[in-house]
Amino acid sequence: MEESKNIDALLEKLSNPKTSEAALTFLDKVTELHESGALDSLFQAAQTVTFLKNSLTDSMVSKNAEMAAELGEITAEAASPEVLDSIRELKKFHRSGKLRDLFEITDNISFIMNTISEKMMERNAEMMGELLTIAREAADPSMAEALRELKNLQKSGNLKTLAEASYMITFMANVVSDSMVQRIASFMAAFTEEVSTPQVQDILGGMTKCVSKTVREFSENPPKPGLRNVISLMKDPDVQMGLIFMAMIAKNMHKCMIEGYSGSAVKD
C-alpha cells in the first residue's frame, strides 16, 4: 500500500506541467552531456574520486576532491550550448580532413623554423627584396610594352631567328682568330674602297636602272612564253647587242680573273 501511495504521489507530481517541463529540460541536458561525452567523464571522475577516497590518505583525498571540483567546473562549461556548438564544428573540421592538413602545415612551419639558420633567413630576405624590386620594374608601363613586343617577336618566329643569329655571332667570335679578323677587315676595306669609286657607282646605278626598267615592263606588258616568241625576240637588234655585250663581259671577266690570280697579263 505504501509503495502504491508513493507511485501515485510521483504520478501526481509528474502530471504538473512545470514538473514535466523541468523533467524534460533535465533529460535534454543529460542527453547533451551524454552526446558530448561530458557525462561519461563525470561518471569516471566520480568513480575515481570514490576509489581514491577509499584507498588514499586524507591529503590525497582533498587534492583529488579539488581536482574533481575543477573537472566539475570544466564539465559544467562543456555542457554550455556554445561549447557544444564548438565541439560539433571541430568534429566537422576533423571529418573534412582540414584539421589534419592544418596539423601538417604547423609541423612543416615548425620544421622550417627549427632548421633554417640566420644566414639562410638573411639570404631569403635579400631574395625577397630582389623579387620586390623586379615586381616594381615589371609594373613599369615601358616594361609591359617591351614584354608585348617580345611576345610579338616570339609569335612571328623572329625571336628564334634572332637567338640563332646571336649563337652564330658568338660562335664566330670564339672561333675567328685575331689574324683572321685582320684579314677580313683588310678585305672589307679594300672592297669598300673599290665599290666607292665613281666607275663602280656608275655601273651599279646603270644595273639598278636596267633591272627596274625590266621589272616595270614585265609587270605592265608581260610577254607570252613560247619558242616562236623567243625566236622573234632574238631577231631584235637590241637583244642581239645585249647578248654580244654579255659575251664580251664574260670574256673580259675570264681574262681579269686569270690576271688577278697569276699576276701576269693574258694575251688576246
Last-in-domain residue among 52, 82, 110: 110
The better pLDDT of the pair 167, 30 is held by 167
What is the rounded distance in angstroms from the CA atom of residue 199 to the CA atom of residue 225?
Answer: 37
CA distances from 28 to 1, 39, 63 (A): 33, 12, 32
Segment 9-19 shows an average pLDDT of: 65
Do residues 79 and 38 lie in contact, with contact meaning Cβ atoms separated by under 8 Å? yes
pLDDT of residue 226: 81
> Is 1 a residue whose pLDDT tops 60?
no
The count of domains in the chain is: 2
What is the rounded distance in angstroms from the CA atom of residue 175 to the CA atom of residue 164?
Answer: 16
**Can you spell out the DSSP letters for 202-218?**
HHHHHHHHHHHHHHHHH
> Is 7 a residue whose pLDDT tops 70?
no
Q: How confident is the model at residue 263 (pLDDT cuts 50, 70, 90)?
A: low
Size (the chain), residues: 268
Segment 236-253 shows an average pLDDT of: 84
Do residues 76 and 29 lie in contact, with contact meaning Cβ atoms separated by under 8 Å? no
Q: How confident is the model at residue 63 (pLDDT cuts 50, 70, 90)?
A: confident
> Is 152 a residue whose pLDDT tops 70?
yes
pLDDT of residue 265: 58
Segment 117-139 shows an average pLDDT of: 78
pLDDT of residue 250: 85
Segment 9-37 shows an average pLDDT of: 70
Segment 242-247 shows an average pLDDT of: 84
* Cell representation of residue 203: 655601273
Last-in-domain residue among 93, 110, 127: 110
CA distances from 80 to 21, 36, 76, 98 (A): 19, 11, 7, 25
Q: Which domain holds residue 246?
A: 236-268
Asked if residue 198 belongs to a domain, the reply is no
Asked if residue 64 belongs to a domain, the reply is yes
Last-in-domain residue among 76, 110, 144: 110
Average pLDDT of the residues of the chain: 76
DSSP secondary-structure letter at 268? -
Asked if residue 72 belongs to a domain, the reply is yes
Asked if residue 125 belongs to a domain, the reply is no
pLDDT of residue 207: 81
- What is the percentage of the chain residues whose pLDDT exceeds 90? 0
pLDDT of residue 56: 58
Asked if residue 221 belongs to a domain, the reply is no
Segment 183-201 shows an average pLDDT of: 77
Q: What is the pTM of this model?
A: 0.27
pLDDT of residue 245: 83
pLDDT of residue 174: 73
Segment 164-178 shows an average pLDDT of: 76
Do residues 46 and 16 lie in contact, with contact meaning Cβ atoms separated by under 8 Å? no
The residues, any chain, with a CB within 8 Å of residue 231's CB and separated by 6 or more, are none
